[in-house]
Structure 1
Amino acid sequence: MRQFNDSEHNIQNEESVILFLVVWTVTEITRYSFYTFNLLNHLPYFIKWARYNFFIILYPAGVAGELLTIYAALPYVKKTGMFSLRLPNKYNVSFDYYYFLIIVMFSYVPLFPQLYFHMLRQRRRVLHGEVIVEKDD
């Protein structure tokens, strides 16, 4: 199994990495500011507003950055066999990280809308006081 080392610098220089790092940073600053002020029982409206509005742009941008980074890494992962385990080995198990990454990319298709629409419902409930009735499946 190939271990993690410094040879992934090609991928680290992708613009998509900067995109998702900036998005994650803004998201976490907003989220933890919200939690902190909430714990102090002094939540400024701007922090509350930012927590429930910034995600509208940040979430799709972050997902795009993640997917573009994974896509950029695929040729390198395939060429090097990074994190893959081939047979025969003492565990008698095979794992191909390249195909795992492809499955992860495709998992965004059903998961992203669910999470995004959940946040939109939360936004309506918190900012507009709407009562959202969840449907039973």
Structure 2
Amino acid sequence: LGQCSRIFMVWLVTHSIKPIQNEESVVLFLVAWTVTEITRYSFYTFSLLDHLPYFIKWARYNFFIILYPIGVVGELLTIYAALPYVKKTGMFSIRLPNKYNVSFDYYYFLLITMASYIPLFPQLYFHMLRQRRKVLHGEVIVEKDD
């Protein structure tokens, strides 16, 4: 899911919509992603070498607390900045009638994408907090069966 959202943000939003490329929100999500990936791959590399410094482990399970919300805010503000351009140009939209008898409106797709952050962000964020507790504090999380 994470990689798909990054491809979407880079290619279908930021790269495709030139007027938003200088938005400060783009810097927000790019910095958050960059620090996240440096931390993640440092963690993987040192783990593979069987020499994981505590700071790298600590960073892997703590930096997200700030970086994840910063990245999400940057992504949402960037999509929001793209909305007027997408509405005006109709980019990536398919209007009826056409030979395939299909309609797609990229503007509404972006609105639905933004709305999807409401249920998904807390779910993913709290999952990461549980992982953090388990790894850094050795807590065993017992999931309830419904």
- When the two structures are superposed, what TM-score results if normalisation uses the length of structure 2? 0.88
Q: Which residue of 2 aligns with 1:69?
A: 78
Shift of 1:92: 1.0
Q: Which residue of 2 aligns with 1:120?
A: 129
| CA deviation vs aligned residue, 1:45-78 (integer Å, no higher than 9, x gap) | 1110000000000000000000000000000000
Match of 1:37 among 46, 52, 55: 46
Q: Which residue of 1 aligns with 2:34?
A: 25
Aligned residue identity for 1:115:
L
Match of 1:96 among 101, 105, 119: 105
Task: Say which SS state the counterpart of residue 92 (structure 1) adopts.
Answer: coil
Distance in structure 1 (CA, Å) of the matches to 2:120 and 2:145: 19
- Structure 2: which 5+ residue stretches go unaligned? 1-11
Shift of 1:98: 0.3
Aligned residue identity for 1:83:
F
Shift of 1:10: 1.2
Aligned residue identity for 2:79:
I
Aligned residue identity for 1:52:
Y
Shift of 1:39: 1.1
Distance in structure 2 (CA, Å) of the matches to 1:85 and 1:69: 23
Task: Say which SS state the counterpart of residue 132 (structure 1) adopts.
Answer: coil
Aligned residue identity for 2:144:
K
Percent identity of paired positions between Structure 1 and Structure 2: 87
Aligned residue identity for 1:111:
L
Distance in structure 2 (CA, Å) of the matches to 1:91 and 1:42: 57
Structure 1 runs, 4 residues or longer, greater than 3 Å off: none
Aligned residue identity for 1:82:
M
Distance in structure 2 (CA, Å) of the matches to 1:129 and 1:77: 48
- Aligned-CA RMSD value: 1.6
Tell which has more relative contact order, 1 or 2 (C-alpha 8 A, sep 6+): 1
- Structure 1: which 5+ residue stretches go unaligned? none
Distance in structure 1 (CA, Å) of the matches to 2:49 and 2:144: 35
Q: Which residue of 1 aligns with 2:7?
A: none
